Structure 1
Amino acid sequence: MNLNHQTKIWLILISLWVINGSSFLAIKVAIDTIPPLLSAGLRFSIAGAILFTIYFLQVNRRRLWEHHDLDHSQKIPEVGQNIRAQVKVPREKITLQQWKDSLILGVTLFLGGQGLLTWGAQYLSSGMTGLLNSTIPLWVAIIGYLLYRWFKKDTLGNKMNKGTMLGLVAGFGGLMLLVGPSIGSGDLDPIGTVALIISSISWAIGSIYSTRAQLPVSILASAGMIMITGGLMLTGVSFIFGEYRDLDLTQISIQSIVAQIYLIGIITVVGFTDFYWLLRVTSASLANTFAYVSPVIAVLLGVVVLHENITLITVIAMVIILAGVALMVTKKKAPSKSKQIESS
Structure 2
Amino acid sequence: MVMFNYIVMCFVFGTTFLAIKIGMDAGAPPFFSAGSRFFLAGLILFLIMKWRGKAKWRILLRKEMLLSGFALTFGTFSTLYWAEQYVSSGMAGILSATGPLMIMLWQVMLFRQKVPFVSAIGGVIGFAGVVVLFMPALYTEVSGLWLAGCLLILAGEMSYSGGALYSKHVIQHFSETSPIALNAAQMMYGGAMLFLLSAFTETLELPVMAQPAAWGSLLYLTVAGSMIGHTLFYWLVSKKDPVFPSTWLYISPLIALCLGAVVYNEKVTVMSVLGGITIIAGIALVNAEAVRSMISHKTKKIA
TM-score tier, shorter chain, comes to 0.7 to 0.9
For residue 51 of structure 1, report the CA deviation from its aligned partner: 0.9
- Residue 292 of structure 2 is aligned to residue 299 of structure 1: no
Check whether the contact 1:131–1:176 (CA below 8 A) recurs between aligned residues.
no
Change (3 A) 1:224 1:304: same
Q: Which residue of 1 aligns with 2:142?
A: 186
What TM-score comes out, normalization by structure 2 length?
0.76
Q: In structure 1, what is the Cα distance between the partners aligned to 2:62 and 2:94?
A: 33
Structure 2 unmatched runs, 5+ = 295-303
Q: How many residues get paired?
A: 285
Change (3 A) 1:171 1:30: same
- Residue 113 of structure 2 is aligned to residue 113 of structure 1: no
**C-alpha RMSD over aligned residues:** 3.6
Q: Which residue of 1 aligns with 2:64?
A: 101
Q: In structure 2, what is the Cα distance between the partners aligned to 1:252 and 1:15?
A: 29
Q: In structure 1, what is the Cα distance between the partners aligned to 2:131 and 2:183?
A: 32
Query: Which residue identity does 1:133 align to in structure 2?
Result: S
For residue 95 of structure 1, report the CA deviation from its aligned partner: 4.2
Q: Which residue of 2 aligns with 1:261?
A: 219
Return the index of the structure with the highest Cα Rg: 1
Q: In structure 2, what is the Cα distance between the partners aligned to 1:107 and 1:18?
A: 26
Q: 1:56 aligns with which of 44, 50, 54?
A: 50
- Residue 28 of structure 2 is aligned to residue 34 of structure 1: yes
Check whether the contact 1:223–1:273 (CA below 8 A) recurs between aligned residues.
no
For residue 39 of structure 1, report the CA deviation from its aligned partner: 0.3
The structure with the greater share of residues assigned to helix is 2
- Residue 24 of structure 2 is aligned to residue 19 of structure 1: no
Structure 1 unmatched runs, 5+ = 60-89, 150-157, 336-344
Calculate percent identity across the aligned residue pairs: 32
Check whether the contact 1:117–1:196 (CA below 8 A) recurs between aligned residues.
yes
- Residue 171 of structure 2 is aligned to residue 211 of structure 1: no
Query: Which residue identity does 1:112 align to in structure 2?
Result: G
Greater relative CO, 1 or 2 (CA 8 Å, sep 6+): 2
Q: What's the CA shift string for 1:58-109, capped at 9, x where partnerless?
A: x2xxxxxxxxxxxxxxxxxxxxxxxxxxxxxx54445458732111111111
Q: What's the CA shift string for 1:10-64, capped at 9, x where partnerless?
A: 974x55443222222111111223211000010001101221233234x2xxxxx
Q: Which residue of 1 aligns with 2:186?
A: 226
Query: Which residue identity does 2:167 align to in structure 1?
Result: S
